[in-house]
Structure 1
Amino acid sequence: MNLPNKLTVLRVIMIPFFVVFMLTDLAGQYSNYIALVIFCVASLTDMLDGKIARKYNLVTNFGKFMDPLADKLLVGAAMICLIPMDKLPAWIVIVIISREFIISGFRLVASDSGIVIAASYWGKFKTVSQMFMIIFLILDLPGHTAVMIETVLIYLALILTVVSLIDYIAKNKEVLTKGGM
């Protein structure tokens, strides 16, 4: 197993630890900060594994499958943890996770037709906005300004999620006809 794939597996392994620290007081008042560090490290492995894989030509089928899945698991777990903390409305989490299922299904249909759907800039912006949103929400800074920034980040992530979905479908609409949908 090459280094990018090991980083992807490490990201998946980090998710349960992140969830434990997010949802418990295992480390007392430091639990959220430990969860934040785990989330940040896991997010950095996402960026790092892709760069290493492309730079050293270490792209594998395992990586193509597991890397986006690991990202979805990490971000989805984080957003679900934020719901009972009243930091993120459930309906927004449902919209964001639904987009991930739609795009994953879309990619499966495309691959059956021999079409590869590459990540778009909108998709990358969406992921970065979601990660910043999650980091800021975990930080839970006090004050009206912080609440306003949280709200802006939540709706920015939501808008970019919907825009990236529309962009993927619009740019790859031939999948809908060739894929038998």
Structure 2
Amino acid sequence: MNIPNKITLSRIFLIPIFILLLSIPFEWGQWNIGNADLPISHFASGLLFIFASSTDWVDGYYARKYNLVTNLGKFLDPLADKLLVSAALILLVELGLAPAWVVIIIISREFAVTGLRLVAAGEGIVLAASKLGKLKTVTQIVAIAALLLHNFPFSYLAFPFDTILLYIALFFTVLSGYDYFAKNWHVMRDTK
């Protein structure tokens, strides 16, 4: 197993730690930041989420730079992203920090595009990530990080950066999902 795949696996292994850190009611206290209180466990989870998300860029860069792109990596990398983002979004709903309907749309889009990719793969077609798909991922990650950090540092300004970015992420999620299906509907139509 090459280094980029090991980095991707490390992202997957960080997910249970992230879930436990955010789910268990640690009595670590909280910080008052602007108009909100930030539990220290949410702060630690936010930092872990940011670190885990950054490994996505690192493994991709390393794989392309040193020509270490593998089929295992093509499978694990998007899986790791979807697991991490889905876990974070579901926990944000449980904590009352994100509306369930937004999370349902985002996760449904991920299932739909994954299904399209599986059908395409069965036909020997590889659907590469689009620029809209990458923009969707970036906006989701930044929105989730902002929500986990209770809108820090924007909470001092009483500016709802986290909420606005969540809706921007929702917009790009829907738009990129439509784009995938519009460009690749022939895969579904022409499947034997």
When normalised by structure 1's length, the TM-score is: 0.94
The residue identity in structure 2 corresponding to 1:176 is M
Q: Does 1:10 align with 2:20?
A: no
- Equivalent position of 1:177 in the other structure: 189
The residue identity in structure 1 corresponding to 2:92 is L
Q: Which one has a larger percent strand, Structure 1 or Structure 2?
A: 2
Q: Does 1:145 align with 2:170?
A: no
Does the CA-based 8 Å contact 1:126-1:164 persist in structure 2? yes
**TM alignment of 1:17-36, pairs within 5 A:** 17-26=17-26, 28-29=28-29, 30-36=40-46
Q: Which runs of 4+ in 1 moved over 3 A?
A: 141-144
Structure 2: gaps of 5 or more residues: 30-39
Does the CA-based 8 Å contact 1:21-1:27 persist in structure 2? no
Alignment RMSD (CA, Å): 1.4
When normalised by structure 2's length, the TM-score is: 0.89
Q: Does 1:44 align with 2:57?
A: no
Q: Which one has a larger percent helix, Structure 1 or Structure 2?
A: 1
**TM alignment of 1:73-112, pairs within 5 A:** 73-112=83-122
The CA deviation at 1:144 is 6.9
- How far, CA to CA, are the matches of 1:56 and 1:179 in structure 2? 35
What does the per-residue CA deviation read over 1:117-175, in whole Å, with 9 as the maximum and x for residues that have no partner?
000000000000000000100111346733x2222111101110000001101111210
**RCO comparison, higher one (Cα < 8 Å, 6+):** 2
State the identity %: 49
Residue 155 of structure 1, aligned match among 167, 181, 187: 167
SS at match of 1:140: coil
The CA deviation at 1:26 is 2.9
What does the per-residue CA deviation read over 1:41-85, in whole Å, with 9 as the maximum and x for residues that have no partner?
101101110111111111111111010000000000000010122
The residue identity in structure 1 corresponding to 2:117 is R
Aligned residues, how many?
A: 179
Indicate the larger mover: 148-157 or 104-113: 148-157
Does the CA-based 8 Å contact 2:4-2:73 persist in structure 1? yes
